[in-house]
Amino acid sequence: MTLLPACTGVCPDTDASGASLLTTRAAIVAQTLDSLRAHHAAVDEARALKGIRQAASLWTAQDGSADEFAAFCTANYVGDDAAREALFRRMSDKLELIFGYFHRIDVGLTAPLQEAAGGDIQKIDLDMGSYNVSAHFNDDMFRSKAAFTVMLNFPSFTLAEKQRLGGQWSRLEWGYARLGDCFTARIPAQAAQAASDAATAAETYIADYNIAMGALRNEAGEQLFADGMTLIAHWGLRDELKSNYADDVRGLEKQRLIYRVMTRIVAQEIPAVVINNGSVAWRPVSNTVYDGENEVAAAAEPDTRYRIFIDNFKAARAADRYTPDVPTAVQRAFDGGMEFSKDEIDAMFTALVSSPQVKQAAALIAQRLGRALEPFDIWYDGFKSRSSISEDALTAQTRARYPDAKALERDLPNLLRRLGFVDVEARRLSSKIQVDAARGAGHAWGAVMKGDKARLRTRVPASGMDYKGYNIAVHEFGHNVEQTISLYDVDYYVLNGVPNTAFTEALAFVFQKRDLELLGMKENSPDKQALETLDIFWGCYEIMGVALVDVAVWEWLYAHPDATPAQLKESTLRIARDVWNAYYAPVLGGVDSPILSIYSHMLSNPLYLSNYPLGHLIEFQLEAHFRGKSLAGEIFRIYKLGRLTPQLWMTQATGQEVSIEPMLNAVDAAVVQLTK
């Protein structure tokens, strides 16, 4: 009997003879289970049946006949507990070796694209930077049948099964489950490489998308920003907008000008000539360009932003047919990546952005500003201690302290000591982190095997690290600390990491909010906790709308897979305006604002944005848990939990699941305190 090709969501319901595939495959599974019973003294029937079914679902005619499948399973099934644990440990060691060196190669190949020291980007840098060294890994593991050995002995569990059973599993059983997650789909190398190509193109586009702020002019032709100030979109623009809440002279005018720059970018109305170019003057309000005193014709950037979005979509969609259990990129991002259902996330986000607490916080902000709110006040930064401090003064400190990236690297142990880490741990963790000047806004890139280093990237101009770069660096340092603890200190390699990226964002936020403390500035205000609550809440309000737009755009693309960049642009702006009008215009004004579509993550990290607000919710609950405890001690305890399911991790970390309720209750109390 010949085993039929595996069903990947696109195969017919019957074979050439008309026999039902389900019937045929069920017979193969039964035949194989009988063989196991006959040849093994100990057979865990439930586990064996699960493993056989999963392996059979991806076994193809090229892998062998039905008899060969049964023989393979009989020869490779491990029933003895000690032998199974030994197999688990051996496979874990091999995966660490493979993934670790894949990662090292990736770091080296992408360095010219990501690090400022890379010089001008050459075509060969793009060609090699997009090369996915792991593209053939999945194919190779199935071809060698190592993947089938894992599937047979360590079958995967659905999210629902993990949520139901995981609370009773031992750490070793969790390790078995995560090993089973390594091989749940058979995505061809060509599809994996296409996704890598699209991702590299998007990252490169974003990393080199800068605005020369000294070349901006208001409608009177006045220059508002300093020569030499070059800001990456969107992060740098957003952070400069935030910093101007401390400018009582022209801060509001600067904020309005930055907001106009952002709207020009998302509408693709920005003149192409002003991107990465400070040699001409640009008036964003009228969208006119001047060479000296003379206005010059300037064509808008083509719909590049939306073409890149479509390229990401097409690459993701090419993998859909190979993941029938999660057949869209949206489902893979939520059920597979975040291990939260999209419906759960939607419910949390929409409940918060439509809560009465939003209007209470907005009224307090308007009172503090002494004016009606405007759309860019979605980035209000006045609840932070630094909001009353001139950014120039902060930059003077950071430049003196960190003239280059290596100065920050040398200071990492001191930063950890200030956060309460004992000297030996501060030095151990810091020794595993390398700091590089970034070409883009900055990021953290964790190691994937012991002995390697995590990378901390942030912008470091020739004049030294400005405050924006420092603030980003502290955020990324939080990621690096998590990445290092959850790799080096977790008991089983396959449990390394956190449930999803929201949990590493949470620790990054915990670090970032202490950036002034790390500069030696202590905040002793009795309102500190209330202000921190409102700061996190307002950050949630902002980014939840962005995340809702991100997901809605992907869902629109799935409904319109042949859309052109122009059509995607029109729909993205419409979706952004609809979300704005529903949840933001009643609070901030500016009906039909498209500003929620400005985030560069929509291009460079598709479907990532939901992790930020979830990270804020986790951060809030972590901060409440940390009060009265050793921050460093709790960080170690919590982040050694590794990659459990999100709600189980959160329960073991803090005693409660992730929810918006603790934050909403705290906002009520904070508003009362600050309006007395």
Strand 288-291 to 294-296 pairing: antiparallel
Q: CA angle, 40 as apex, 36 and 45 as ends, to 5°?
A: 55
Torsion sign (Cα): 363, 364, 368, 373: negative
Q: Is the dihedral of CA 316, 569, 256, 284 positive or negative?
A: positive
CB contact at 8 A, 576 and 596 = yes
Could you read off the pLDDT of 568-605 as tens digits, one per residue?
999 999 999 999 999 999 999 999 999 999 999 999 99
Task: Give the residue among 663, 426, 343 at the shortest CA–CA distance from 534.
Answer: 663
Backbone angles phi, psi at 591, to 5 degrees: -50, 135
Where does the pLDDT of residue 155 fall: very low under 50, low under 70, confident under 90, or very high at 90 and above? very high
Is 144 buried (19+), middle (13-18) or exposed (0-12) by CB count in 10 A?
A: exposed
> In angstroms, how far is CA 46 from the centroid of its own chain?
36
Q: Is 172 exposed, middle or buried (0-12, 13-18, 19+ CB in 10 A)?
A: middle
Q: CA dist 62 to 13, 28, 35, Å?
A: 19, 16, 22
Question: What pTM was computed for the model?
Answer: 0.84
**pLDDT (tens digit, 9 = 90+) per residue, 409-467?**
999 999 999 999 999 999 999 999 999 998 877 889 999 999 999 999 988 988 999 99
* DSSP state for residue 332 in the 8-state scheme: I
The DSSP result for 439-481, as a single string, is SSSEEEE--SSTTS-EEEEE---TT---HHHHHHHHHHHHHHH
- Per-residue pLDDT for 23 more than 60? no
Tell me, what's the pLDDT at 387? 60
Paired residues of 436 in beta bridges:
457
Q: Does residue 237 surpass a pLDDT of 90?
A: yes
Sort strands 433-437 and 454-458 into parallel, antiparallel or unpaired.
Answer: parallel
Task: Provide the pLDDT confidence category of residue 12 given band limits of 50, 70 and 90.
Answer: very low
In tens, the pLDDT along 39-52 reads 998 899 999 999 99
Measured CA to CA, the distance from residue 367 to residue 306 in angstroms comes to 39
Q: Is the dihedral of CA 94, 100, 105, 106 positive or negative?
A: positive
Residue 377 CA to residue 401 CA, distance in Å, equals: 31
* Torsion sign (Cα): 95, 97, 102, 104: positive
Please state, in angstroms and as integers, the Cα–Cα distance from residue 259 to each residue in 230, 439, 605, following that order.
16, 24, 23
What does pLDDT average to over the chain?
92
Percent with pLDDT over 70 in the chain: 96
**pLDDT, tens digit (0-9, with 9 covering 90-100), for 315-348:** 999 999 888 888 999 999 999 899 999 999 999 9
| Tokens representing residue 339 in the block | 């291990």
Cα first-last separation, the chain: 81
What pLDDT score does 251 carry? 96
Please give the pLDDT value at position 599. Answer: 96
pLDDT band at 193 (very low <50, low <70, confident <90, very high): confident
Please state the rounded mean pLDDT for residues 66-70. 90
The confidence band for 19, taking pLDDT boundaries of 50, 70 and 90, is very low
Please give the residue that has the higher pLDDT: either 382 or 559: 559
| Cα 472 to chain centroid, rounded | 15
Q: Say if CB 374 and CB 523 are below 8 A apart.
A: no
- In the structure encoding, which two tokens stand for residue 218, read together? 């208001």
Q: What pLDDT is recorded for position 597?
A: 98
pLDDT digits (tens, 9 = 90+) for 620-640: 999 999 999 999 999 999 999
**pLDDT of 117:** 81
Q: Give residue limits of the domains in the chain.
A: 21-77+142-180
Q: What is the pLDDT of residue 385?
A: 63
The confidence score (pLDDT) of residue 618 equals 95
pLDDT at site 323: 87
DSSP assignment, residue 335?
A: I
